[in-house]
Structure 1
Amino acid sequence: MTSLVAGQIVFLECRQTRLYAEVIQVLEPRSVGWIRPLAMVSETQTIALGTELDSAALASNKATVPDMLWPLDQLQPALDTEVIPLLATLSAKAGDLGTTPPLANDVNPLTVGEFVRWLWADRQLQP
């Protein structure tokens, strides 16, 4: 397993959707890490999760996604070639000031809670 460090971008993947997060703290003795969700990315959309890059969400006082404690062995390091375009997309959406809803094409957008439930359900089915 690759050693993770604070500030590194990682992801969790389930059903063609990735939850990208920043590692806040690594707790080696417990084999877990605090992560801060940044974005959920599927084939059709990128959803900013109320980070400081999402100024429209902050301005409207929308609830942000809380930090999570997650097993280190399930976190996958994101490659620079994935992270740089993602951060550029999130920055562009933040600069948009919310004039176009990011979820306009999706009637029932996936929430982080639903994603986590999928992920745990799928992990329970694996031998």
Structure 2
Amino acid sequence: MAAEKYQHDTPNVWMMTADSSMRSPTAILRELTELLDANEKRGPRMMASVIQRVKGTRGLIIVDEAQNLTTEAIDLLHTIFDRGRIGLVFMGNEPLKGRIEGMGRQSSHAQIFSRVGMRKNRVNPLVILLN
């Protein structure tokens, strides 16, 4: 996958795959503390620990299968994006696009929608044949 290659070739790029076990913001924070090797792995300081870990890195968090995220989890990642001053990529299928675009119509999520810099639709997955 291109995102995994980018992660491998680029410093301060972290990639996670969202699944049904990561529906709550707390579950996302736990995953991120492990992924980032943040100081606080449990408790109320997890968010601050994640932000502290990424701040100043000019890093990027890539979330694959992002259609599995709840609106609250997307909000949490947006907060990390804002406070940590890092990049954030959501990769997912068509329902994700609909949810993100639908969020933009709600005043409570207009800020997230306004920050979407690029939407890329792939009709067919990229296939690379190696000899």
TM-score of the two chains, using structure 1 as the length reference: 0.24
Q: Which has the higher strand share?
A: 1
Q: Which has the higher helix share?
A: 2
TM-score of the two chains, using structure 2 as the length reference: 0.24
